[in-house]
Chain A
Amino acid sequence: MTSEPVWRRALRWETGLVVVLIAVLVFGSVRSSDFLNTTTLFYVGLNMGEIAIMALPLMLIVITGEIDLSVASMLGLSGAVLGQLTADGWPVGLAMVAALVTGALGGALNGMLVARLGLPSIAVTIGTLTLFRGLAEIVLGARTITAFPASLTKIGVVPLPGTHLAYSAVIFIAAAVVFGVVLHATRAGRSIVAAGLAPEAAQFAGIRVRRLKFGLFVLSGVLCALAGILFTLKNASVSYNAGTGLELNVVAIVLFGGVSIFGGRGTVIGVVLSVIIFGTLQQVLTQMQIQPEVQNIITGVLLLISVILPNGGEAVRRIRARLRTGSGPVRAPAPPARSVTPSDSALTRQENTQ
């Protein structure tokens, strides 16, 4: 696979996202004349900020061919740590540091299990999803903690002074710029893409794939903890189940942004556009008083379109070819790009001969 068609396809995907975004904005302003104003801007940022922050490291992890499903549980755990320590009388600043350290430790656990022991990340992070949520439950029990200083909880009510943006949105934008530069213009960023496209080739080219993946999981833990802090302060309260189920939203945003689930492809601008589209769409639908459950349908359909479209052309070509030749070669559905380790294949070969 050369880099040229991949690059071109990625470009086309982002163009498509811009078109979708414009369509949503036009639709929103047709529905309501005061849709395109600074209040909408503030609320989109406020609603999407934490999810968007978690989407950035997840994007990098997915590009390397792994996945992290524990993000929302880490958000909950970090919020629980922050809440409990604040209630215990710790200075809020110190409690925040403790929450971030918790995130780093949790990320290191994921990273160790995935990168060092070579366990499948989807299974590991389903495990830590449960584990982190469980730890949050142990820390907080059934309590809800609300004792946060008003000077901090104001981030859920007012924008950053001098702007119309929510605090979490500003942090996301700053982080997105850093991620964009790192992913697309530095050696480390290109290593991430290389590790996802061809793990073995990357290894032989001197990229420390395992260390890279470990680092990304730690980064994910820390940023999810940051999202947890922002989420807690925004709501001015935290209970152990804060943010339950958000992991699927984050995954949906990353995939809709054009990041390939098989790794090796994805851009920061795509993910940023995806965040904005989801945020504005949610705002439009909420203004139209459509139930959140029904909004799920739209999320799901968008996600489906985002994977069918890039594959659609190829599928049509294949079906046509088969019609022409009577019956073309029947091939298996695309196998995951993640390489099966020798021990796994030895196992499966054995199983297969039964």
Chain B
Amino acid sequence: MTVLASPGPAGTGSRFARAGALLRAREVGIGVVLLVVFGVTTAHNHNFADANSVQQLLSGAALIAMLGVGETLVIVTRNVDLSVGSVVGLSAYVIGDLFSHHPGMPVILGFAVGIGIGAVIGAINGFITAALRVPSLVVTLAMLYIVRGVDGRVVNGVIIVPSNIPSAFVAIGFRTFLGIPWLAIIAFLIVVVVAYAMRSFRSGRDLYAIGSNPEAAALAGVLSARRVFTAFVFSGALAGLAGALFLALHAEVDVTAGTGYELLVVAAVVVGGVAIFGGSGTVVGAALGALLLNTINQALVASRVSSFWNEAIAGALLLGAIAFDRWLSLRVARGLRSAEGAHRDL
């Protein structure tokens, strides 16, 4: 892309272009793996390419992709948000509970409540992390427990069942538009908008600056604390929205809803090429990572591989992705170093 070549200092354009091409290859690479997995599985089991099966695949991946977008914003700033799974659970349950007590409640209000809950929790995470300068890993781990505990308190043994929820709301979970599930469309729109903002808005570039080099970002006048706070609010709000969609998709919620999603999301994001120590990675990659993990899971089911193998293969894949990332970054670094000469510090 020519955009890459323009801003660099004189004579460095081709270097950045080359490194950029390598980096972009990451998204392309995931796409290729995705197609291979899809193709091989379909060859084994033709039902895998059925409209129904693909729709199911997209709906499942949409939730994780959405969470992955929020998680990417946070991880890019060298932080992490482990509370998303609990937020999904709480948001899904509270909305379901509201619907069962007020069956006439407008659907849009359900979404607003979910996003609101998530944003508030995200704001707490962001405030403690950014203003009090407490490591986000610990803060959001604590929030994971607290929110799950509040959820338990709210749920108190009562389970939301499909008959509690207005059909207009459940419809969002299974309706399709031109054959594409609404869930996937919503996730796609979020990915596109956020990807654009991360690429072209000052606030988006600030997040990368903070993650690349916090001191340099501060000296350059980046309002780091404010940006990190916003990233957490965003991640929380998206988790709240994902909670609403979880309810629409499953129509059944108990206290365990969303348990363990935090690690699933981090895994998807890392597979998608977002560096866990911040500063690089795209939301498109994160979304593709989520889609790839979900496709592999479904592919194992469709290939009649014993479902007991799913988790082990997912783990091995994650390790492979991390190692591949390392290899790639070493190659890029070597390329940069040899192109630039000796003045760059090691």
Contacts and interface: CB of A to CB of B under 8 A. Distances in A.
A, B assembled together: yes
Interface of A: 69, 113, 117-120, 122-124, 126-135, 137-138, 141-142, 240, 245, 248, 251-252, 255, 261-262, 291-301, 303-304, 306-308, 311-312, 314-315, 319, 329-336, 338, 340, 342-354
A87 B282 CA distance: 48
A315 B133 CA distance: 8
Interface of B: 3-4, 7-8, 16, 19-20, 23, 78-80, 128-139, 141-153, 155-156, 199, 205, 208-215, 217-218, 222-225, 228, 255, 259-260, 263, 266-267, 270, 275-280, 306, 308-316, 318-319, 322-323, 326, 329-330, 332-333, 336-337, 344-346
19 contacts: A69-B263, A119-B323, A120-B277, A120-B322, A123-B322, A127-B319, A131-B311, A131-B319, A137-B309, A261-B135, A300-B143, A304-B138, A330-B225, A331-B215, A333-B225, A334-B135, A343-B330, A351-B208, A354-B20
B224 A293 contact: no
Given A296-B152, A336-B78, A133 B135 contact: no
Contact of A350 (B19, B213, B276): B19
Contact of B318 (A126, A294, A297, A343): A126
A336 B135 CA distance: 8
Given A126-B267, A255-B138, A348-B275, A299 B315 contact: no
B263 A297 contact: no
A261 B211 CA distance: 18
A307 B319 contact: no
B297 to A, nearest CB: 11
Contact of B132 (A122, A292, A315): A315
Contacts of A329: 218
Given A335-B78, A350-B336, 6 more contacts: A123-B270, A252-B142, A255-B141, A261-B135, A294-B152, A350-B332
A142 B7 CA distance: 57
A338 B92 CA distance: 37
Contacts of A303: 138, 141-142, 145
Nearest to A298: B149
Nearest to A312: B132
Contact of A296 (B145, B314, B332, B337): B145
Contact of A330 (B16, B224, B255, B318): B224
Nearest to B4: A354
* Closest 4 pairs (CB-CB, A-B): A293-B152, A134-B312, A131-B315, A332-B214
A352 B212 contact: yes
A119 B79 CA distance: 17
Contact of B212 (A248, A298, A304, A345): A345
B333 A332 contact: no
Given A304-B139, A352-B208, A128 B337 contact: no
Contacts of B128: 304, 308
B319 A335 contact: no
A297 B139 contact: no
A349 B326 contact: no
A113 B132 contact: no
Contact of B322 (A124, A299, A330, A342): A124
B209 A307 contact: no
Contact of A131 (B19, B136, B263, B316): B316
Contacts of B7: 353-354
A336 B275 CA distance: 14
A313 to B, nearest CB: 11
Contacts of B142: 252, 299-301, 303-304, 307
Among B145, B344, B345, find the residue whose CB has the most chain A CB atoms closer than 10 A: B145
Contacts of A113: 319, 322-323
A306 B323 CA distance: 34
